Structure 1
Amino acid sequence: MTGRWAVTLLTAAGALVAGLAAQSAGAPLASLAWALLAGIGLSLMLRGFGLRIVGMLLVALAVGGVVWGVQSAQWVPVAGFAVAGVAALGFIAWGPGWRLRQRREREVQVDYWKAMDEGDDPTDEQGSHPGDKSG
């Protein structure tokens, strides 16, 4: 679960649970959850180091929500903020590498048409692979 969408959806789910639970309880804690959701929306527009900075801000908002929720005894929002905070750590840890990882995955993919143009058979079961000139 180190992909961008998994981290984003888990963080958003935690923030949404915290926001809806705090809103239904009438707690001012809901504004912090909506700010967390807005930060997640901002993270979708960023790449690289900026994503790491927004991740740090999201973790800080989530920790603030946990502390405020514990002080006001709002336990469901505390759980939502905790999930969002742990998931937002993914923005810090893996966020800047997501773009490079996608580029590497695209480079590893085999171009079967190019392999056939070079005379290789990519469907051959005898060990001949595209780009393998030994066979």
Structure 2
Amino acid sequence: MDPRKHMRTEDGGTIIMKSMEGATHFLVPGILWGLLDAEQMNSPGLIRTLKITGRRGLLCAATGGLYVGAWQLLEKYRMKRDIINEVGSGFVVGAAFTGLMNRSISMGITGGITFATAVVFIDRLISPR
């Protein structure tokens, strides 16, 4: 079995390229979320609005990139496309962000379980199988 064959994903891109694509797709909604959030907070200046917008955009981009990257890694090593990839990548993202923001391992585990559950629920709601 040629190991280079497994370096690419099913539709031709590498795992890093897929992660960058996921981050890019999530950047735009994050920027829009930041603009709406800055408008709701009645932020007085352009600099403050740009800071809020940039933080929200980068947070969403990091979430999307990490989720897609974890999904692709699980798919590559398991060589399957099923619900376990969703649960695993959802847990990784939830645990990473909740654990880092709260600086707590128990909160990270709780956030990972919550995010994994939400990801599976949303995916099943959008595309029932």
Q: Same fold (TM over 0.5)?
A: no
Could you say which structure has the greater relative contact order, defined with CA pairs below 8 angstroms and 6 or more residues apart? 1
The normalised TM-score by structure 1 is: 0.30
Larger Rg: 1
Answer 1 or 2: which has greater helix percent: 2
